[in-house]
Amino acid sequence: MAWQVQQLSRVQNLCLRLICAVFKTSPIYALEIEAAIPPISKVLDKVDRDTAARLHKLGPRSPVLQRLRDSWENHRLAGDSGSGRSTGAGFVSYHLGVELTSGCVPMGKKAEVYDAEMHAMSSAIVGLENLDNDLGTCTLLYFFADNSSSVEAILQEHPGPS
């Protein structure tokens, strides 16, 4: 499957260059950030996890499950008991296209998506603070989230009303 991912990456990289109207020498990771398009490998991982989550919601007598090999059950989701939806938080930090920190935390069924977003951003900051390397002082951080109120709240010095 690796060669298929390479082919998809090449096509996506070409499209990123067309979308952003840049030179061929422009770094791909910068184009992905600018166009808000994740790397194809991350997209495929998400599709894989989403498919596994949908399969785990099917009943044991489902015709779909009966046609699958027995090995699909090895793809369990962390924090998912199979009896309902769980909320989780995840983050990743990059510097010049190199992954520095990443993590994911299942938060349970009672946590809200807002809580997960706040936890992910907080974990990313703590992960960067604990990083012991020669990158120097960080002067600029970019947060990408689909909820602007969580980004605004995490940047406030004092907690707001709950």
Q: What number is the average pLDDT over the span 131-158?
A: 70
Lowest pLDDT segment from 1-5, 60-64, 135-139: 135-139
Q: What number is the average pLDDT over the span 49-74?
A: 72
pLDDT digits (tens, 9 = 90+) for 90-129: 888 777 777 777 888 788 777 777 788 888 888 877 777 7
Please check the confidence at residue 78 and state whether its pLDDT lies above 50: no
The candidate with the shortest Cα–Cα distance to 105, out of 84, 121, 94, is 121
Tokens 């785990």, residue located: 56
Measured between alpha carbons, how far is 42 from 61 in angstroms, rounded to an integer? 32
Q: Count of CB atoms within 10 A of residue 104's CB?
A: 15
Band of the pLDDT at 81, cuts 50, 70, 90?
very low
The pLDDT of residue 54: 78
Band of the pLDDT at 10, cuts 50, 70, 90?
very high
The pLDDT of residue 2: 83
The pLDDT of residue 11: 93
Measured between alpha carbons, how far is 111 from 109 in angstroms, rounded to an integer? 6
Using alpha carbons only, what angle is made at residue 29 by residues 126 and 133, rounded to the nearest 5 degrees? 40
Q: Count of CB atoms within 10 A of residue 24's CB?
A: 7
